């Protein structure tokens, strides 16, 4: 998260009119793209390939942190093109505000891209799609967590019905 704040500050305060500013803008954009792709792939694999994570609470918290990292990454990209918005995204607080309002699909309408500016419109659509996708991932992680808890309690109640105090390991050692 700290890296995203540094990228956001670089995107806002580096002048884009110089060669160094343009190079830094390209580097910031590529790093933000890498961060977003990494967040998507990691959380998708956690949500849909691992049946029972080692710590479901940790998985949920990390998915929530990743969800909040996406608008920070997009705000760095929006800060690179501040003049495409009305009013302009001239400071990082306004860029973060716009990005969080966009990903949560609230959309107050106080900040909007110009109609002829196609790049921010595409970025906004991608951010909204990622936001909805991440909410699906969070729901999948939490429902998997709830199902595993219920399954564990059913297995425990079956052991109680059988009268096994020590569980399956006691049965296997007593039969030998």
Instruction: Express each pLDDT in 75-104 by its tens digit.
Output: 988 988 888 999 998 888 999 999 999 998
Whole-number percent of the chain with pLDDT over 90: 23
Is the per-residue pLDDT at 136 higher than 60?
yes
Q: Using N-to-C axis directions, what is the helix angle for 56-80 and 118-162, rounded to 10°?
A: 180
Q: 171 or 112: whose pLDDT is higher?
A: 112
Q: What are the extents of the domains in the chain?
A: 2-160
d(CA 83, CA 28): 18
Q: In 49-176, which residue ranges form alpha helices assigned H by DSSP? A: 56-80, 92-103, 118-162, 168-174
Instruction: For residue range 1-52, list pLDDT tens digits in order.
Output: 677 677 767 777 777 778 877 888 888 888 888 888 988 888 777 766 666 6
Write the CB contacts of 148 (distance below 8 Å, at least 6 apart in sequence): 52, 56
Mean pLDDT of the chain: 79
- Looking at the chain, how many residues does it have? 176
Q: How far is CA 13 from CA 34, 35, 92, 96, 110, in A?
A: 21, 21, 9, 15, 23
Is the per-residue pLDDT at 126 higher than 90?
yes
Closest by CA position to 143, among listed 69, 56, 66: 56
Is the per-residue pLDDT at 113 higher than 90?
yes
Residue 112 φ then ψ, to 5°: -150, 155
Q: pLDDT at position 117, please? A: 92
Is the per-residue pLDDT at 165 higher than 80?
no
d(CA 102, CA 107): 6
Q: What is the DSSP string of 11-67?
A: HHHS-TTSHHHHHHHHHHHHHHHHHHHHHHHHHHHHHHT-SS-S-HHHHHHHHHHHH
Structure token digits, residue 14: 């580096």
Q: How far is CA 16 from CA 24, 93, 94, 107, in A?
A: 8, 19, 19, 28
CATH of domain 2-160: 1.10.287.70
Q: pLDDT at position 1, please? A: 62
């Amino acid at each position: 998260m700290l890296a995203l704040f540094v990228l956001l500050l670089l995107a806002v305060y580096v002048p884009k009119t110089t060669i160094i500013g343009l190079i830094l803008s390209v580097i910031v954009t590529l790093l933000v793209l890498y961060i977003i792709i990494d967040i998507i792939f990691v959380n998708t694999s956690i949500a849909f390939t691992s049946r029972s994570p080692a710590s479901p609470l940790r998985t949920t918290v990390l998915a929530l942190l990743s969800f909040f990292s996406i608008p920070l990454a997009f705000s760095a990209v929006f800060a690179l093109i501040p003049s495409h918005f009305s009013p302009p995204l001239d400071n990082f607080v306004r860029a973060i505000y716009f990005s969080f309002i966009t990903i949560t699909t609230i959309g107050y309408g106080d900040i909007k891209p110009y109609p002829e500016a196609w790049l921010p419109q595409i970025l906004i659509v991608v951010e909204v799609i990622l936001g909805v996708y991440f909410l699906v991932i969070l729901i999948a992680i939490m429902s998997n967590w709830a199902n595993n808890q219920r399954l564990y309690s059913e297995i425990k109640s079956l052991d109680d019905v059988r009268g096994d105090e020590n569980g399956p390991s006691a049965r296997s050692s007593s039969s030998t």
